[in-house]
Structure 1
Amino acid sequence: MSSPLAQSDTLATAFREAMSNVCAPVAVITTFDGDRPHGTTVSAFMSLSVGPPMVAVALDHGSDVLRLIRDHGRFGVNVLGSAQSELALNFARKGDDKFAAVPWRARAGLPSLDGTTGWVACVAADFVSGGDHTVVFGEVADVAHDTVEPLTYHRRTFGTNRAHP
């Protein structure tokens, strides 16, 4: 008979494998620390409500961006386009120089990355702890979009979804 810890590890591994089969959108969540931009890549975000317009995003409890959102009260969702996988990898790593070679501008008081397929500026409305992450509910304050195909993450690989005519 296996130990509870071994069963937990087995379940976590099986869960990760099962979830790798779910196609997820890729976004960079951004905010400011004073006048310095910060961002992190996520694949756990979604549209939550249209009345009022809201989104939800999950961030690791230890995330610097989560700490800054709690302090600042605002965040941006930069929905990446299909040609932006390098940008996704850049913001997925640790470090303070993620914006060094990245074209961006301030929009609605938040860092907005150039060339994305979607942009949503949010005011943090609520924080809910779930496992090792915190889900941040954001009330939409500004939005913009383009017709660029989205970047998706599926089976640990970046790809896209193309509309069929």
Structure 2
Amino acid sequence: MTRPAFAEQFREVMSGVCTPVSVVTALDGTRPHGTTVSAFASLSMDPPMVLVSLDRTSDLLAAVRRAGRFGLNVLERRQAELAKRFARKGMAKFDGVTWELEDDLPRLAGSSGWVACTVEKFIEGGDHVVALGLVEAADSRPLAPLTYHARTFGTHARTDG
């Protein structure tokens, strides 16, 4: 078990890392599931793959395991409220949210990016499970991304130099 002081130090270090914000989605039969994640990344270009890290106790992980597929909605800078909504526990996350089925997965309206994946492999890692996804479809819009840094939402800004 991690020492409390060390855990807080680690949490503080990680708060200084700017991360993209996305909502991972899946279907459980006809019911959509989703959760906000900041731990996702491109893994491979050939074949195209991404990885996402999901809490091992989450309902979403259970749905992804059953379906063997997931969608990745890369949020745009004005979707902080959506990120907060999907970060909460509970079954009503999709209530009042505009979404559609795309590639047989829930896609959130207004996202800057979309990736549909088939799970290639699950890797256990502490209190999370990493899902390696083989990309089946991808779409993007020229919108600024939503990012998370120092426990606040923001977006990317270009530097000159």
TM (norm. structure 2) is: 0.96
1:20 alignment partner in structure 2: 15
1:38 alignment partner in structure 2: 33
Of 97, 106, 110 in structure 1, the residue corresponding to residue 101 of structure 2 is 106
Contact 1:58 1:134 in 2 (8 A): yes
Offset of 1:134 from its aligned partner?
A: 0.3
- Once residues 7 and 88 of structure 2 are traced to their aligned partners in structure 1, the CA distance between those partners, rounded to angstroms, is 23
1:115-150 deviation line (CA, Å, top 9, x unaligned): 001000000000001111000000000000001100
Of 135, 148, 151 in structure 1, the residue corresponding to residue 143 of structure 2 is 148
Offset of 1:19 from its aligned partner?
A: 0.5
Runs of 4+ in 1 over 4 A off after TM superposition: none
- Once residues 124 and 130 of structure 2 are traced to their aligned partners in structure 1, the CA distance between those partners, rounded to angstroms, is 6
* Structural RMSD (CA): 1.2
Contact 1:149 1:162 in 2 (8 A): no
1:80-105 deviation line (CA, Å, top 9, x unaligned): 00000000000000111111111100
- Once residues 127 and 24 of structure 1 are traced to their aligned partners in structure 2, the CA distance between those partners, rounded to angstroms, is 22
Offset of 1:163 from its aligned partner?
A: 3.8
Offset of 1:8 from its aligned partner?
A: 1.1
Name the SS for the 2:3 alignment partner. Answer: helix
Offset of 1:106 from its aligned partner?
A: 0.2
- Once residues 163 and 122 of structure 1 are traced to their aligned partners in structure 2, the CA distance between those partners, rounded to angstroms, is 30
Matched, 1:91 2:74: no
TM (norm. structure 1) is: 0.94
Residue pairs, 1:42-53, within 5 angstroms: 42-53=37-48
Offset of 1:9 from its aligned partner?
A: 1.0
Fraction of identical pairs, as percent: 53
Letter matched to residue 111 of structure 1 = P
- Once residues 128 and 103 of structure 1 are traced to their aligned partners in structure 2, the CA distance between those partners, rounded to angstroms, is 32
Aligned residue-pair number: 160
1:29 alignment partner in structure 2: 24
- Once residues 147 and 99 of structure 2 are traced to their aligned partners in structure 1, the CA distance between those partners, rounded to angstroms, is 21
1:72 alignment partner in structure 2: 67
Offset of 1:161 from its aligned partner?
A: 0.3
Unaligned runs of 5+ in 2: none
